[in-house]
Amino acid sequence: MKQRPADDYVHVSSVNWQPFPGEFSGGGIRWKLLHVSPEVGTWAAIFDCPKGSSFASHIHIGPGEYFLTKGKMEVRGGQEKGGATASAVGYGYEACNARHDQTHFLEDSEFYMTFLGPLQFIDKEGNTLAVVGWEQAQALWAQQTGQS
């Protein structure tokens, strides 16, 4: 008999920010991993993104939903290049296989995101640098916070 997965609650303000790895971002982005769901392969996190910061090129292997609570974020090149320029408070859905060559923050920003699958970080030629799913996110978070 399998166990029902556990429910969870996180008081976000009580969790310390951790640096998001420099290989995946630039400009001082920090994160808090809020939940991982092995049963559906999802993970949820909140990100603190200073003005001028950005995420490195990646592909959303599964779709993702975000909720921008503060600031301004350019996704897929921003509105001028056919993407989205999100302003707080904003919600967005990124479809399966969405490629984000640069996600850029025009102001000090904060957003929550649920990843329905891994992120594949890529180089300019599209070669895989890393695949970050719930297991890798959880392992990184455990390492950063000294949990095991």
Task: State the residues that interact with Zn ion by CB under 5 A.
Answer: 100
Q: Are 98 and 59 in contact (CB under 8 A)?
A: yes
In three-state secondary structure terms, 111 is: strand
Q: Are 109 and 72 in contact (CB under 8 A)?
A: yes
CA–chain centroid gap for 138, Å, is 13
Q: Least distance (Å) from Zn ion to the CB of residue 58?
A: 6
Please say which residue, 17 or 93, places its beta carbon nearer to Zn ion. 93
Q: Least distance (Å) from Zn ion to the CB of residue 67?
A: 14
The string over 13-28, giving b where at least 16 C-beta atoms fall within 10 Å of a residue's C-beta and e elsewhere, is eeeeeeebeeebbeee
Please say which residue, 32 or 76, places its beta carbon nearer to Zn ion. 76
Please say which residue, 72 or 100, places its beta carbon nearer to Zn ion. 100
Q: Least distance (Å) from Zn ion to the CB of residue 13?
A: 25
Q: Least distance (Å) from Zn ion to the CB of residue 94?
A: 6
Please say which residue, 100 or 104, places its beta carbon nearer to Zn ion. 100
